[in-house]
Amino acid sequence: MNTTSRQLPLTLRYPPDQRLDAFFAPPEGALAQLRALARGGDWLYLAGPEGVGKTHLALGFCAEAEAIGQSAHYLPLAAVAGRLGDALPAPQAGAGIAIDGLEHIAGHANDEVALFHFHNAARAAGAAVLYTARANPDELGIGLPDLHSRLGQLTRISLQPADEAGRIAILRERAERRGLVLEDAATEWLLRRVDRDLASLTRLLDRLDRESLAAQRRLTVPFLRAVLGGETEPSRST
């Protein structure tokens, strides 16, 4: 993370949608574990498929660390795969460090070696580290045995996709944060036609907030059709 991004105000770097308290239906005890980690508790490994909120919790953890006066670093591995050694922060005592997306460096020997050395240095420095990945260590394809072993020793939190009722609740709650009111019909229309992962829903609501304000329109199905109708497709079952 560069110096400029580290110096951005907390409210800009970690918006309300990505705080720990804004996470819908977390696994029992997960938020308490993340808050404890920000204060020097056990290192954590968040595992779950794409779109379940791993990045949300990683950013929320960083916000929590900064809120109590610790430095925080968020590193998305998708952006630095192949050059991880140059991107990893220098571990410091008490610093909260979120390493997001281990699957992006799994099988890349140089990145794995760099992460292994970082892991050991962070332990020695007394940093607080959170890893996220789409799978457990045994299923990631980590080639470096020592790194695989270190990751396998961490306390693990497993995330599952929200069910239909959960997705509706998330969408409505995030709309309410923006002062938007989603009618039942509009909610159902959106969930049938757009990507359902949390990041996509957040970006969509930000856009709809701007569009509805500019047009002075409520979020009705006709308005959604006018704004998004040509850009959406019916969701496919999997």
pLDDT at 237: 32
Tokens 């890349």, residue located: 108
pLDDT at 235: 39
Torsion sign, CA atoms 189, 194, 198, 202: negative
CA atoms within 13 A on the CB side of 199: 10
Which residue type sits at 215? A
Tell me, yes or no, if the pTM score tops 0.95.
no
pLDDT at 231: 55
pLDDT at 194: 66
pLDDT at 213: 83
Q: Let me know if 151 is exposed, middle or buried by CB neighbors in 10 A (0-12, 13-18, 19+).
A: buried
Alpha helices in 109-163 (DSSP H): 109-125, 137-140, 145-152
Nearest to 177 by CA among 17, 50, 21, 1: 17
| Residue partners of 192: CB distance under 8 A and separation at least 6 | 234, 235
pLDDT at 234: 40
How many angstroms separate the CA atoms of 106 and 69, rounded? 33
pLDDT tens for the chain, residues 1 to 238: 343 334 434 444 666 667 898 888 899 999 999 999 999 999 999 999 988 889 999 999 999 999 999 999 999 999 999 999 999 999 999 999 999 999 999 999 999 999 999 999 999 999 999 999 999 999 999 999 999 999 999 999 999 887 777 778 877 877 887 888 888 888 888 877 766 566 677 778 888 888 888 888 888 888 888 888 755 444 333 2
pLDDT at 150: 97
Which residue type sits at 203? R
How many angstroms separate the CA atoms of 191 and 210, rounded? 20
How many angstroms separate the CA atoms of 66 and 108, rounded? 32
- For the chain, strand residue ranges (E) read 44-47, 72-76, 96-100, 128-133, 155-158
The DSSP output letter for 19 is S
